[in-house]
Structure formats: structure tokens, C-alpha cells
Amino acid sequence: MTTCDYCDQAAIYHDVRIENGVHTTLNLCQHHAIEAGIELGPIDLSIVLNADATFSESKEVIVCQDCGMTIAQYKEKSLLGCPTCYETFAEQLKHIIANVQDNHTQHVGRAPSSANADVSRHLTVRRLLKQLDKAVTQEQYEEAAVLRDELRKLHEGDTFHEN
């Protein structure tokens, strides 16, 4: 268990920085984190995301049309009110979602078994395009040709189903 840099309490805030090749770590307990002006939300995720740095203070208050939630309320609770909040606050949440998901802001994994054929095909095309780009970048042209052919087959299958 890591302890606070200023006392013997358990550290709940950890800040690791590398500046000019120098690695520094700051570990703070709840008391010292609050003293330092770090807002500790109800869940640990808000500590990592540092929501205050993400949201710019603007005079215009954006409100979700379905549930009435504002960015200020999100900052307090670290929870969104409804699915429409994701659309309403998309610009403000993009950075946070990217941090949590290793810079992925769109789905890049397996599709659930209940996904329909169009969603499954779309995910397959995206996966193949990503692999094709990687193969070309690494100058693996034989593999790139195989991936290109797979993409053509999928495209021809789309054309076939549309007629």
C-alpha cells in the first residue's frame, strides 16, 4: 500500500509525470489532496480524469433536454443522467472517454452475439481497414493484398444484397 508523501495515511491520489526525461511521483492522502485543491469525486475515476481541467468554464450552460442535467451536476456526481447526455455533452466528454479507453472513442472490439449482420459487417470492415493500414505501413504488401481482397468480397456482398 502506498502512503502519502506528507504523512503515514494511505494515498488515494497518485500523480505520475515525466518531464524532460525526469520521472516524478506524487502520492497524497485524502486530507492532503483536498489541501492541494484536488477535487475528489464520489468515485476514483474522477480523480484520474481530473474533470476540472477537461471542462472549460463557459457562460453558456448546456442542459440535457431529456433529464435536465448540466456539466456542473456531472462534475459533482461523476455520473450522467441518461443516454441523451452522451450526445448533449459529446464535445466535453470526448477527452474523458478517450483517456479511459486508451484513446479509443469508438467501439473497436468484438460485437455482441445479438448484433445484427450490418453492425457485424461494419465492424469487420473497420477491423480489416485497420489491419490493411498497418500492413501497408510495415511494407507487408502480400498481406495487404489479401486484406484488400477480403474487403472487396465484403463490398461485393453488400452490392449483392442491395439488389
Cβ–Cβ < 8 Å for 9, 3? yes
pLDDT over 70 (residue 108): no
Residue 112 lies in a domain: no
Confidence of residue 116 (pLDDT cuts 50, 70, 90): low
Predicted pLDDT at 136: 92
51 plus 97 within the same structural domain: yes
Predicted pLDDT at 118: 67
90 plus 134 within the same structural domain: no
How many domains would you assign to the chain? 3
pLDDT over 80 (residue 114): no
Residue 126 lies in a domain: yes
Residue 110 lies in a domain: no
16 plus 46 within the same structural domain: no
List C-alpha distances in Å: 137 to 46, 53, 129: 37, 35, 12
46 plus 96 within the same structural domain: yes
Three-state secondary structure string covering 61-92? CCECCCCCCEHHHHHHHCCCCCHHHHHHCHHH
Confidence of residue 110 (pLDDT cuts 50, 70, 90): low
* For the chain, percent of residues with pLDDT exceeding 90: 13
Read off the DSSP letter of residue 58.
Answer: -
28 plus 46 within the same structural domain: no
63 plus 99 within the same structural domain: yes
Full residue range of the structural domain in which residue 143 is found: 117-162
Predicted pLDDT at 16: 79
Q: Read off the pTM.
A: 0.32
13 plus 47 within the same structural domain: no
